[in-house]
Amino acid sequence: MKVTKINTGIYKITIGVRVFEAEKNYDGQWNLFESVDYSHLGLSNEMEWQNTFVTFKSCKIAAELITNE
């Protein structure tokens, strides 16, 4: 797992070939998004919402669990 700070309250989480983004919202909670490749449909990559968590650590754990599914 590689975590990269993109900006204040925004982090990129890379696990293997899967890319997630954790973003702190106005409530102080964290939204977790996953980059999904839609090139087979003629579209670009999109960030697809996965869930909202109370802490950034929870986002990292969830990203690992999603990757292991």
Question: Which tokens in the block code for residue 52?
Answer: 């909202």
The answer to whether the CB of 32 falls within 8 A of the CB of 63 is yes
User: What would the pLDDT profile of 4-33 be if each residue is shown by its tens digit?
Assistant: 999 999 999 999 999 999 999 999 999 999
pTM above 0.95, yes or no: no
Question: Which tokens in the block code for residue 45?
Answer: 């990559």
* 34-42 average pLDDT score: 82
* Beta-carbon contacts of residue 4 (< 8 Å; ≥ 6 apart): 11, 12, 14
The answer to whether the CB of 12 falls within 8 A of the CB of 20 is yes
- Look at strands 10-15 and 2-7 and give their pairing: antiparallel
The answer to whether the CB of 59 falls within 8 A of the CB of 24 is no
